[in-house]
Structure 1
Amino acid sequence: MKLFKKNEKKETVKLPMGRKARKAFAVYAALVCCMVFGTTTAFAANDPIAVVNNLSNFIFGLIKAVGMIMLGFGIVQVGLSLKSHDPSQRANGFLTLAGGVVITFAKEILTLITG
């Protein structure tokens, strides 16, 4: 008894893509290429402190982006917990929200602490 038929001849068929979808994909591909290849280069000056400051600004920019993502996710969690009346999800949402705020403003908090 054969359960599955083995198809020996498999043909690949292009999926139809309309004019609007092709145009949207071209815009998306152009934006991705601009983001990847259109980055500005940071030329290092003769001052090594400037290089360290540039690296610090870049790293804190990445940290701020992660914090903003966590902040948005925390807002969504709190909203969903208010809808479903789930207290444990609400607590997790507020903790994620607070963590996102702390991570987003980490550079400002560190400069406030160090003076």
Structure 2
Amino acid sequence: LGAGMAFADGDPIQVVNNLSNFIFSMIRAIGLILLGLGIMQVGLSLKSHDPSQRANGFLTLAGGIIITFTKEILAMITG
């Protein structure tokens, strides 16, 4: 009861592409979380006038942007 059926695509290339899309969507989600945390850190540092927290916030923000757009960056590098 309640067992769902899973259908695999017959084309191995399509299976690899589906897995790649899934992995990149997970990476994008992690990047968006880091992006939000970076924005929050920068906002809190502006409120408390803490330069070290501001630097950490901008680093987290930059890392989040890079991680969010990993797939596009790799596509641009590989051509």
State the distance in 1 between where 2:63 and 2:55 align: 12
- Secondary structure in 1 matching 2:47: helix
Structure 2 unaligned residues grouped into runs of 5+? none
Q: Is the 8 A contact 1:44 1:50 kept in 2?
A: no
- The higher-RCO structure (CA 8 Å, 6+ apart) is 2
Q: 2:13 aligns with which of 42, 49, 66?
A: 49
Q: How does 1:1-115 map to 2 (within 5 A)?
A: 43-115=7-79
How many aligned residue pairs are there?
75
Structure 1 moving runs of 4+ over 4 Å: none
Question: Quick one: which amino acid aligns to residue 103 of structure 1?
Answer: I
* RMSD (Å) for aligned C-alpha atoms: 1.3
Cα distance change of structure 1 residues 75 and 54 upon mapping to structure 2, 3 Å threshold = same
Q: Is the 8 A contact 1:73 1:96 kept in 2?
A: yes
Report the CA distance shift for 1:63/1:42 in structure 2 as closer, same or farther (over 3 A). Answer: farther
Greater mean alpha carbon deviation, residues 43-52 or residues 64-73: 43-52
SS in structure 2 at match of 1:45: coil
- Give distance in 1, aligned partners of 2:75 and 2:49: 39
Percent identity, aligned pairs only, is: 77
Superposition TM-score, scaled by structure 2 size: 0.90
Q: Write 1 or 2 for the structure with the bigger share of helix.
A: 2
- Structure 1: state its 5+ residue gaps: 1-40
